[in-house]
Amino acid sequence: MTGFGGFLLLGRAFLDHISSRFWTKAGAALILVLLADHLFLGTQGLAAGSTLGFFGLILLFFVWALRVPSPKAGDYLLGALALGLCLALFNDPSVLAAGLLWTALALLVLRPSLGTFIDARDLVLKLTAFTFSASIRPLKDLGLLQKAARRHPRARIRVTPFILPLAALMLFGALLIWANPILEDLASRLNFDTLRQTPRLDRLVLWAIVGIIAWNLLRSSAIHSPKASESQAAVLDGRVARFFSPMSVLAALILCNATFALENGLDITYLWAGETLPSGMTYAQYAHRGAYPLILTALLAGAFVLIALGRGSPTEHHQGVRTLVYLWLAQNVFLVASAILRTLNYVEDYSLTLLRLAALIWMGLVGLGLVLIVLRIVFDGSGRWLINANALAAAGVLYIAAFVDLPGIVANYNVRHAFETAGRGVYLDIDYLRELGPASLPALDWFIANGKSTRQAYGVSVRDELYAKLHDRQQNWRSWTWAGERLLASLLPPPPPPAPRMWKAP
């Protein structure tokens, strides 16, 4: 055990010694590009399954080894979150999990410039700048190499001699592999046969994307958010104060409360109490038309409250303003609840989709944000606290969603609430279940076993199609997923086609 621990310490010391070197990071980026080519690109084009989680794990290793020389508590937390996202990608890859993994790795790189107390607003600015700088980072580093070569002529001698040998090795190596069947067989056994092919567009795109991602994570420097000067801040405060005087804020709050009272009154009458709508309008139209605009209204209302009761503003401690703000926030919370009910009614009439499920989650976050605004006012919290609390809630919801089978939830809901199975609602949209993919197979099996419809045969056809798609995907090691393997094991294979009847002579 002592020898193994000494080996780890020696390896760590070696990594610490080489982590700052340009060529070490270039070699790591090259390894990641070749690994991505091997994991994702086959004879049938791009395919990403659980291999995406393995690639994320290797990327996390390089970022941790080359960019986190002295880990702190925050680094270990981000590393654990990134490791969990690698597991999510290994289980069932998704764009959400991949985006969150990129965010966690970017935060690992940016953490030295974040300070002791993290401001979510500053964090978003730095992540945005970090993401947009990815495309220009290689060009910037090439410029630095050229400057270094001009300043130090001897450095040019050390760098340029590698270009011709590497180019000759790649060119003549490819020609020899093409011409010699023994070398060709050796290359095929090493599974690098795809590199001998003429680069296709998808390969070039994959190399470029992976190279930019790896290089930006391994070579980027800390990004500092631009700060306005004191004179600019004073001018801005003066302009804002003219629009948010106590009289103007009071008048705006009175008008807004009256307007919101009218909207909430209509919702209470037609949405909650179920009164008959005017002729020519259905409950589905009423529910669908107002859901998203009301959420935008609530967001704008929250922003107005933050400005009106901002620290140092003339209306910060105005009692009349605070009373009207509390009333307005309460109306906004009710408005969000009405928007959620509108969406639920629309789902009941037109089934559930991934977009509508995401909208319901988003509405819940908006309602939570309004409650947090009330808490901020009552306990005299700072704007930074409010932004961080909302960002933490949103990040937590997204992180949990990366591990949840959302298409399976949507498919199961639609099947259990369809007219064919529940006796009410709308007819099951089998084509949408096909769009959801193999995740809807358990729901389709339940529909076939319990549904009462003349479209049972069509459901069986779609089920067989999705099963074949899942089976073919699991046969390819590049597109294989752990979740897909468990799903395939839980399903019964489709029955074989009936044997043709043999003709018998009379």
Q: 386 and 367: one domain?
A: yes
Please give the Cα distance from 214 to 34 (Å, whole number). Answer: 12
The candidate with the shortest Cα–Cα distance to 206, out of 72, 452, 367, 40, is 40
**In the predicted structure, residue 377 carries a pLDDT above the cut 80:** yes
Question: Confidence band (pLDDT; 50, 70, 90) for 3?
Answer: very low
Angle 206-210-214 (CA atoms, 0-180°, nearest 5)?
170
Residue with tokens 């390089």: 62
Please give the Cα distance from 362 to 357 (Å, whole number). Answer: 9
Model pLDDT, residue 2: 46
Model pLDDT, residue 170: 57
Write down which residue in 404, 420, 442 finishes a domain.
404
Q: Please write down the long-range contacts of 382-391, taking CB distance under 8 Å and 24 or more positions apart.
A: 382/311, 383/306, 383/310, 383/311, 384/119, 384/120, 384/121, 386/306, 387/119, 387/120, 387/121, 388/118, 388/119, 388/120, 390/120, 390/365, 391/120, 391/123, 391/124
Cβ burial 367-396 (10 Å sphere, 16+ → b, else e): bbbbebbbebbeeeeeeeebbbbbbeebee
Q: 398 and 417: one domain?
A: no
Picking from 134-148, 373-387, 403-417, which range would have the lowest pLDDT averaged per residue? 134-148
In sequence order, the 6+-apart residues with CB closer than 8 A to the CB of 488 are 470, 471, 474
Residue 249 CA, chain-centre distance (Å), reads 38
Q: Which domain holds residue 119?
A: 12-219
Q: 265 and 190: one domain?
A: no
Q: Is 147 part of a structural domain of the chain?
A: yes
Q: What is the pLDDT of residues 328-374, one digit of tens each?
A: 888 888 888 888 888 888 888 889 999 889 989 988 988 898 888 88
Model pLDDT, residue 14: 47
Q: What is the pLDDT of residues 162-201, one digit of tens each?
A: 444 555 455 545 545 554 454 555 556 555 444 445 456 6
Q: Is 4 part of a structural domain of the chain?
A: no
Q: 332 and 455: one domain?
A: no
Please give the Cα distance from 464 to 433 (Å, whole number). Answer: 13
The encoded tokens of residue 146 equal 């050229």
Phi-psi region of 366 (alpha: psi -120 to 50; beta: other; left: phi over 0): alpha
Model pLDDT, residue 205: 78
Instruction: Please give the share of the chain, as a percent, with pLDDT higher than 70.
Output: 68
Q: 176 and 319: one domain?
A: no
Range 11-32 average pLDDT: 65
Q: 201 and 66: one domain?
A: yes
String of DSSP letters for 200-230: PHHHHHHHHHHHHHHHHHHH----------H
Model pLDDT, residue 444: 93
Q: 289 and 316: one domain?
A: yes
Q: Please write down the long-range contacts of 139-142, taking CB distance under 8 Å and 24 or more positions apart.
A: 141/22, 141/215, 141/219
Q: 414 and 392: one domain?
A: no
Q: Domain total for the chain?
A: 3
CB 415 within 8 A of CB 421: yes
Q: 24 and 64: one domain?
A: yes
Q: Is 473 part of a structural domain of the chain?
A: yes
Range 99-121 average pLDDT: 81
Of 6-10, 95-99, 387-391, where does the model show the most confidence?
A: 95-99
Q: Is 242 part of a structural domain of the chain?
A: yes
Instruction: Please give the share of the chain, as a percent, with pLDDT higher than 90.
Output: 21
Q: Residue 41 is inside which H or E element, if any? A: strand 41-42
**In the predicted structure, residue 385 carries a pLDDT above the cut 80:** yes
The encoded tokens of residue 433 equal 């279940």
Q: What is the pLDDT of residues 73-102, one digit of tens each?
A: 888 999 999 999 999 999 999 999 999 999
Range 58-75 average pLDDT: 86
Q: 102 and 192: one domain?
A: yes
Range 221-227 average pLDDT: 49
Q: 101 and 244: one domain?
A: no
Cβ burial 102-129 (10 Å sphere, 16+ → b, else e): bbbbbbbbbbeeeeeeebbebbeebbee
Cite the DSSP H helix spans in 111-200: 120-132, 137-151, 153-159, 163-179, 181-189
For the entire predicted model, the pTM comes to 0.73
Q: 192 and 255: one domain?
A: no
Angle 465-471-476 (CA atoms, 0-180°, nearest 5)?
130
